Structure 1
Amino acid sequence: MTAFFLAVHVLAAILAIGPVAVAASMFPAAARRVTDASVRGGQADGLAALRVLHRVCRVYALAGLAVPVFGFATASGLGVLRDAWVIASILLTGAAAAILALWVLPRQDAVLALLTAGDPTAAGIGRQVARLAMLTGVFNLLWAAVTVLMIVRPGSTTGV
């Protein structure tokens, strides 16, 4: 059964977290393009693209909840729940989830609301987009660290 949990854990990470990482990374650049287009008087296509990217982030973030669920099941089955690399991975995953839920998704909502209102210079939208880009980068770096921990597994006896 552990092999099944591991397979679902890895597939969920690839198919759920991957799209969130990509869509969240694309959002700030797309928002900048919409802001530039707004100044020139055309933004409808860009707003539609931003809405799709935001929806991808929201929907796949929910699907991504399967990653820690099956991760815990796998770690429990392997008897490694108390290993330092698993605990570090859990903490990093929690931090990444918090950044996504508390800052990235709400900032995407805020940027969309400002751009939909039609004022690309309102409330320092450029600063908000820059902060969003930074937070998205931190989110992605945390997931990269978790991925490395899952592969290298410090203290592992597999010879890696």
Structure 2
Amino acid sequence: MTKLFLVLHILAVIVAIGPVAVAASMFPPVARRRLAEPGPGAAEAGAQLRLLHRICQVYALAAVAVPVLGMGVAGMMKVTGDTWVVVSIVLTIIAAVVLGALVLPRQGALLAESDPAPAEGGAGAGVGVVKRTKQLAMYTGIFNLLWAAVTIIMIVRPGSSLNH
């Protein structure tokens, strides 16, 4: 049964976290093109933004299965108190906060800004968009780095009695 839960946990990571990581990483450059340089293709870029944001939202909800299954596996393996599991849980919580409090709301704000006709703000508006999309890219990078760290910890398992 442990192997089944482990397989489900890993599949949940791939199927749920992977799309969020990719779509969230694609969002800032598309938003920058759409908002800082409006023109031909703006409607297509707006549709891309809506799709990328929707992917992030839906798969973020599906990603709840990752820690739930992970805790099930850790419980079955009787390693819930091991350092590598605790650190992974903390990093997962931080990643969820980064996604929920920093990435998704900023995506939503940029998406809302992209829906109406572009404002007549000139170069100053473009600078603000560039700054906000760079900040969003930074938060997305932090989210992705947190998941990379969790993946490494899950493989290396520092402090685990399984290391020989």
TM-score range, shorter chain: over 0.9
Q: Is the 8 A contact 1:13 1:64 kept in 2?
A: yes
Give the alignment's TM-score, normalised by structure 1: 0.93
Give the count of matched residue pairs. 159
TM-score with structure 2 setting the length:
0.91
AA at the equivalent of 2:159: G
Q: Which amino acid aligns with 1:95?
A: I
Give 1:157 shift.
4.2
Aligned-pair identity (%): 53
Q: Where in structure 2 are the equivalents of 1:26-65 lying within 5 Å? A: 26-38=26-38, 40=39, 42-65=41-64
Gaps of 5+ in 2: none
**Equivalent residue in structure 1 for 2:158, among 148, 151, 154:** 154
- Which is further off, 118-127 or 29-38? 118-127
- 2:131 corresponds to: 127
Q: What does 1:15-34 align with in structure 2 at a 5 Å threshold?
A: 15-34=15-34
Residues 37-56 of structure 1: CA distance to partner in whole angstroms, max 9, x if unpaired? Answer: 41x35400000011100000
Cα deviations by residue, 1:52-74 (Å, 9 ceiling, x for unpaired): 00000000000100000000000
**Which residue does the alignment assign to 1:89?**
88
Q: What is aligned with 1:74?
A: 73
Tell me which amino acid in the other structure corresponds to 2:21: A
Q: Is 110-119 or 91-100 further displaced after alignment?
A: 110-119
Question: Offset of 1:125 from its aligned partner?
Answer: 2.1
- 1:5–1:70 contact (8 Å) kept in structure 2: yes
In the alignment, is the contact (CA less than 8 A) between 2:107 and 2:136 conserved in 1?
A: yes
Q: Distance in 2 between matches of 1:68 and 1:159?
A: 23
Say which is worse superposed, 52-61 or 126-135, in terms of deviation. Answer: 126-135
SS where residue 90 of structure 1 aligns? helix
**Which structure 1 segments of 5+ residues have no match?**
none
Contact map agreement 2:36 2:126 (CA 8 A) in 1: no
Q: Which amino acid aligns with 1:146?
A: V
Deviations 1:127-157 (A, max 9, x none): 2111100000000000000000000001334
Give the corresponding residue for 1:5.
5
